[in-house]
């Protein structure tokens, strides 16, 4: 395992929280706290917050991401946002296939793949989420499912484009529940995702891909999680809404 080949990424996922003025205030509060980070720092924010977030983050080490992207370039897709729209607004990252989108908005492995391709074809960095439910884990399907979801999401993604892909292993049972995977469970899940990449692209390539853990990561447990060889940072929901907590996670990933 070659952790040193990969840069850790700590990405906040604000979900449906913060108005534009609240976004500005929170980013202003975060900027001095994360300025010395030795990892990439990203905030994925609601579409409506993007202009305020981009403006507030200007000149800092905080990059702005979106929480979703549509796979078509333009057209009759009411309520959707395209890659070009995100690019022009100053977005650099986008979360794709979050379990809440799979659960509440009928995302499938096919649409996750299309959205991933739309992102990387536009030069955006895609944070692609995969993860098993508690039932799937208890049935013993975790490895099979994580490998399947990872490979499906990456269908037709070239080796070159893989440089703009981050995989986020997010066990569904750990998201927003306060139940965190143990560090060993996180390491194992991330390892399954990396193994799927190795099967598709080769071991050398797989060693270069950032694989985050996400699921109730917080200021208290981050250090133990990110210390694991397969855990290259985290995708953070609840704890990314508090400047101090988020900055502690960023510091943990910078060690």
Query: Of 192, 234, 186, which is closest to residue 214 (Cα–Cα)?
Result: 234
* 138 part of the active site: no
Convert 221-243 to b/e letters by CB count within 10 Å (16 or more is b).
bbeebbebebbbbbbbbbbbbbb
Judged by CB under 6 A, does residue 11 bind ligand PEP? no
The DSSP-derived string for 150-214 is HHHHTTT--TTGGGGEEEEE--GGGSSSS-PPPHHHHHHHHHHHHHHHHHHH-HHHHTTS-EEEE
At residue 20, the 3 state secondary structure works out as helix
- DSSP run (H or E) holding 149: helix 142-153
Judged by CB under 6 A, does residue 12 bind ligand PEP? no
**Window contacting ligand PEP (CB under 6 A); options: 58-66, 151-159, 236-244, 245-253:** 236-244
Q: Which is nearer to ligand PEP, 16 or 76 (CB)?
A: 16
CB of 158 to ligand PEP, least distance (A): 26
Q: Which of residues 160-199 bind ligand PEP (CB under 6 A)?
A: 170, 175-176
* 98 part of the active site: yes
- Interface pick for ligand PEP out of 8, 9, 10, 13 (rule CB under 6 A): 13
From residue 83 to residue 112, the character string flagging contacts with ligand PEP as x (rule: CB under 6 A) and all else as - is ---------------x--------------
Q: Which is nearer to ligand PEP, 164 or 221 (CB)?
A: 221
By annotation, the residues acting in catalysis are: 98, 170
């Amino acid at each position: 395992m070659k952790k040193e080949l990969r840069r850790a990424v700590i990405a906040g996922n604000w979900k449906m929280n913060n108005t534009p003025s609240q976004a500005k205030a929170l980013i202003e509060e975060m900027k001095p706290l994360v300025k010395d980070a030795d990892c990439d720092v990203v905030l994925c924010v609601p579409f409506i917050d993007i202009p305020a977030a981009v403006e507030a983050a200007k000149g800092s080490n905080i990059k702005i991401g979106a929480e979703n992207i549509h796979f078509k370039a333009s057209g009759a897709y009411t309520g959707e946002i395209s890659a070009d729209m995100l690019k022009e607004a100053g977005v650099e990252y986008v979360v794709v296939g979050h379990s809440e989108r799979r659960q509440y908005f009928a995302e499938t492995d096919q649409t996750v793949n299309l959205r991933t391709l739309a992102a990387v074809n536009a030069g955006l960095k895609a944070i692609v989420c995969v993860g098993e439910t508690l039932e799937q884990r208890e049935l013993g399907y975790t490895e099979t499912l994580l490998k399947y979801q990872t490979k499906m999401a990456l269908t037709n993604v070239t080796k070159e484009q893989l440089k703009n892909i981050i995989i986020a292993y997010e066990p569904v049972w750990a998201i927003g529940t306060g139940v965190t995977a143990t560090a060993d469970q996180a390491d194992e899940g991330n390892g399954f995702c990396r193994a799927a990449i190795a099967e598709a692209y080769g071991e050398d390539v797989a060693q270069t891909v950032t694989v985050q853990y996400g699921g109730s990561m917080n200021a208290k447990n981050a250090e133990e999680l990110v210390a694991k060889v397969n855990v290259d940072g985290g995708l953070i929901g609840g704890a990314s809404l508090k400047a101090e907590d988020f900055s502690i996670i960023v510091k943990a990933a910078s060690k």
